[in-house]
Copies of this chain bind each other. A is one copy, B any other.
Amino acid sequence: MALGKDYSGQDCTLARALEVVGERWTLLIIRDAFYGVRRFSDFHVHLDIPRAVLSARLSTLVEHGVLAKDGHEYVLTEVGVSLWPVVHGLAGWGERNLDGNGITRLFVHYACGTRIDLDGTCPSCGGGPIRPGDLEIHPGRGARRRDDVVSKALRGPHRMLTPVET
């Protein structure tokens, strides 16, 4: 991980995972990648993250195979996409247990138009969890207004993992 000391003394796959995705900003970068953000400047304006830190995080994510760099675009790999249950689960935990302005984004099963459950499954389709590519992002009631180009592009419904148009 980041600090002088990594988690090397820890004997745990969780510690190894945290070395890759546990640093400050990293999971928010990955969340944005699910939303379809792909370019350096779009991550930058949407996250308000220092350029140096963003550059470092994108590099380590590429290095560990979470993102792939294609020209000037950073795209989630299959390894990265497989983080969806964790990202969605943690966001759901925050929504249920932490105070806030309310729901900021909804995830809707594209095929049937139903909002998915907090465990990632579609209540009307039954069966297993919905893959992120089959989800559509809708702004929720609690959404605060940001005026950067990425926030504007995500104002309307947007298919997850497809590039945002800025």
Q: A interface vs B, CB < 8 Å?
A: 1-3, 7, 9-18, 20-22, 24, 27-28, 31, 47-48, 64-65, 79, 82-83, 85-87, 89-98, 100-101, 103-105, 119, 129, 143-144, 146, 151
Contacts and interface: CB of A to CB of B under 8 A. Distances in A.
24 contacts: A3-B24, A7-B28, A9-B47, A10-B47, A11-B101, A11-B146, A11-B151, A13-B91, A13-B94, A13-B95, A13-B100, A13-B103, A13-B104, A15-B28, A16-B100, A18-B27, A18-B28, A20-B98, A21-B90, A22-B24, A82-B97, A86-B90, A89-B89, A119-B129
A11 B143 contact: yes
Given A7-B28, A144-B11, A17 B93 contact: yes
A49 B146 CA distance: 38
